[in-house]
Every structure is written in structure tokens, then in C-alpha cells.
Amino acid sequence: MEKEPEGRLRWLTPEEANRLLDVCRESRNADLLDLVEFGLFTGLRQGEELSLTWDRVDRARGVILLDVTKNGRRREVPLNSRADAVLPSPAWKRRYRQGWLTPSCRSHTLSLMSRVVYRKCPLRP
């Protein structure tokens, strides 16, 4: 049997995911819940999600193509029905930057929102 490579491998428990979504629902930022849901349903890293453009989403094939990843390799991420359902949300249609998939959200704003969410919803390492 091949040995698994070193590195952190961790998923949220269903309870943790529900707690996280509850905290996001309480946020004053209307886009936060959609961003977190999309991330949970796709497994995308925050940077991958925020840099995603519409031309990288192939809804017909049900995949998201990532050209630039943390490890430098191209990959396709399945676009399941729950993630696809987030895409036409009013916030995303109304506020996405030209060509960008996600609503306009500055990284420092997202960083501040993340700290508030994680303070209210601590997750185990």
C-alpha cells in the first residue's frame, strides 16, 4: 500500500459546518454566506475562490478549471448542484466585478470578516 504524503488533511464536521453557516447568516455582509457556502461545496481555497472568473466555470460539464493552484498544477474541481445553486444568487449577479465570479470583496475586508467569524465559531485545528 502506497504511503499517503505528509500534510494537513482536515474536513469540517457537519456540526462545525452548520455552526459556521449560522454565524455567516448573522453577518451584516450579505455576500459572506454565499462565499462560505460556495467554498464549502467546492473545497476551493479562499484565494482560488476570490480570483475565479466566469470563463473558468464550465456549467455544462459541471467543473471549475483552476489554472493557478497552490501546488502549481492545473486541476478541475467538480461543480456540484449545491455549489452551482449559489452562483445565480442576487448578490453575485448584482455585484460581481466584470468577468469575476465572486462579488467584489477586498481581501482585507474578507480577512476582517474571517476573524470575526472564527472568533464566534472556533474550529479545531
pLDDT tens digit sequence for 74-125: 899 999 999 998 887 666 665 565 677 776 655 555 666 666 666 777 666 5
Q: For residue 103, what are the β-bridge partners? A: 96
Whether residue 65 is predicted with pLDDT greater than 90 in this model: the reply is yes
Tell me if 36 sits within 8 A of 49, measured CB to CB: no
Global confidence as pTM: 0.75
Strands 75-78 and 63-66: antiparallel
Query: Hey, what's the cell of 63?
Result: 467543473
Query: Hey, what's the cell of 114?
Result: 474571517
User: Which whole number is the average pLDDT over 10-20?
Assistant: 85
Q: What is the dihedral of CA 3, 45, 121, 83, to 10 degrees?
A: -110
Q: For residue 75, what are the β-bridge partners? A: 66
